[in-house]
Structure 1
Amino acid sequence: MSLSCTIELDYASPEEANIVLEAIAPDNKPYVEAQIEGSTLIVTSSADTPMEMLHTMEDLLSCIKIAEATFNLVR
């Protein structure tokens, strides 16, 4: 079985989306691919089992939350 998940996150600007992308980039490979379209960060992941997907998404969303919080602090 193979699973895939795509999350689209809309930001106020392409620069903000890029800041979040750069913050999560070190943890992405090989589990997650990410790209920016305009001010939207599009994150895609695949996994062999539901639990692998759950762990990947939990980790990814936690990293995104920290990146967003940090960005909001320094704004």
Structure 2
Amino acid sequence: MDLLQRTTELIKASKLTYREIADGAGVDIQWFAKFKQGRIGDPGVSKVQAVHDFLASKKGAASGDAASDVPSCNHAA
């Protein structure tokens, strides 16, 4: 599984809002909303990596284990 696929899975599993994810990852809320909706053809590895790293850290902090699931992101921007 590549970084984009893993990040997409982490986003789907997260209960955090768009704003919480964007702010935590240090990316623009509008960029994140478009990214989550699949409206960015080439989102850029640095931004995707930032979102992935933020959500992966939340996953590890919530369970004490970086391999556990992150809660689901179903909130609109």
TM-score scaled by length of structure 1: 0.45
Quick one: higher RCO (CA 8 Å, sep 6+), 1 or 2? 2
Q: Which has the higher strand share?
A: 1
Q: Larger Rg: 1 or 2? A: 1
TM-score scaled by length of structure 2: 0.44
